[in-house]
Amino acid sequence: MRKIFPLSFIAASFFVAAQVLAHQGATGIVKERMDAFKASQTHLKSAVKAAKADNFDETQKLARLLADWGTKMPDFFPVGSDIMPSEAAPTIWSDMEGFKRAATQFADAANQLAAASAARNKEAVFASIKQVGASCKSCHRVYRQK
């Protein structure tokens, strides 16, 4: 067990370093969308923490930020913005309508989280958080390079 922790720590360190390096050199709209995706990841993690603490005002605020990003997301993928270090898959541009539907599903899930937070329904808040996360994973499978 003692050997597993150091190996896990080393692997996690390489993953974090790779994420940081992936954003190096990004400029313009590519950097803006990378930053927005990073912010949405932070918002979702913060929503989980806030929900665990029964801070539904905070989860509602964060859900609104997520929903706002979902409505704007397709605008951050204009034709020609598939340049490195972009992690966007070419499928975004060949299936923009599908990508827009995926972004709408993300925004809808975030809006459900906002509604559950407004109702102070902890069970519904956590179910909605799972839906937001599932919409991220679903979109990444199709529209993000691995």
Q: Which residues of 62-71 are buried (b: 16+ CB within 10 A; e: fewer)?
A: bbbbbbebbe
What is the structure's pLDDT at 146?
A: 75
Angle 135-141-146 (CA atoms, 0-180°, nearest 5)? 130
How many angstroms from the chain centroid is the CA of residue 85? 18
Domain residue spans of the chain: 27-143
Which pLDDT tens digit goes with each residue over 80-136? Answer: 998 889 999 999 999 999 999 999 999 999 999 999 999 999 999 999 999 999 999
- The CATH code belonging to domain 27-143 is 1.20.120.10
pTM confidence score: 0.82
